[in-house]
Homo-oligomer: A and B are copies of this chain.
Amino acid sequence: MTEPDRAVVGVCQLDGVAARQDPSVVRDAVARAAALGARLIVLPELTACGGVFTRPEEARAVAEPVDGPTVRLLSELSAQHSCVVVAGLAEQGDRGQVHNTAVVVDSGSLVATYRKAHLWGAETNAFEPGGQPPPVVSTSAGRVGIMVCYDLEFPEWVRLAVEGGAEVIAVPANWPLRDEGDPQRPFEVVKAQAAAVTYRVNVAVADRCGADAGVDWYGGSLVCDVDGTLLAGPACARDGGPGGATPAVLVAEVDLAAARDKRLGPFNDALADRRAELYA
């Protein structure tokens, strides 16, 4: 397979309540992104079940295996639209535990599974964290690294994906609306931009919007290039701002070849300039 130099990426921002109540919400969002040309389509964390989980039994109630209904639906959609889909689900583990998982389906088949390693808030009580680094998958839309929400805030996690060859990092996320920082560009967005430019990798985040289980979601879905420039989003900028965001599909073409080149002018290199021997 010749490596593609560019790919159109779509991020689908969904309302969690709506997605939980009606599977056509996911179906329609993927169809819309595909119609806009997206070959890599990212959906929010815990795509179909939405919600806020604070106890193991809550997570177990919606958990499913990675050959369950969510992955079957995503596989069908990826085959129908000849695209790669990255989405989240509550994954039923083999000892009764539940993981906050992201899956990658490409042209009808499940090609990767990743369990969120850095848990946020009360979900710490509901999910068991993963212990494996972010996978990087060669797809028809480039080499895709996968992580979930809070994982993206750890520079080391981004570096591992980049060292694994990721040209774009796909991030299902649920960013809760917070009071701190600049409301128009909250720290999650700043960190996503910094992750991208620090390691010269494209970043695509699909966020949740609306209110669910007493939480307002930021609605900051975005696509960012290797220079840290926002190509699309944050999605809430189109609407009533953070917390006033509505469901959205954002599409942008990213430069995969640029992500394969870590040079910064004639003397520097984003990876080679690291002095890892001094970082212990």
Contact = CB atoms under 8 A, between A and B. Distances in A.
Interface stretch (A10-18, A87-95, A188-196): A188-196
Nearest to A121: B267
Contacts of A265: 121
A182 B187 CA distance: 17
Interface string A114-147: 0001101110100001010100000000000000
A21 B124 CA distance: 59
Nearest to A226: B180
Contact of A267 (B120, B154, B159, B187): B120
Nearest to A228: B187
Contact of A187 (B117, B121, B181, B227): B227
Contacts of A8: none
Interface stretch (A30-38, A60-68, A101-109, A270-278): A270-278
The contact size tier of chain A is: 35 or more
Contacts of A180: 227, 229
Contact of A155 (B117, B133, B181, B198): B198
A278 B134 CA distance: 10
9 contacts: A117-B278, A154-B273, A155-B198, A156-B274, A156-B278, A187-B194, A187-B228, A191-B198, A194-B194
Interface of A: 117-118, 120-122, 124, 129, 131, 133, 150, 153-157, 159-160, 180-182, 187, 190-191, 193-195, 197-198, 227-230, 265-268, 273-276, 278-279
Given A182-B229, A190-B193, 20 more contacts: A121-B266, A121-B267, A121-B268, A124-B267, A129-B275, A133-B278, A150-B273, A154-B273, A154-B275, A155-B155, A156-B276, A156-B279, A160-B279, A180-B227, A182-B230, A187-B228, A190-B194, A191-B228, A193-B194, A194-B194
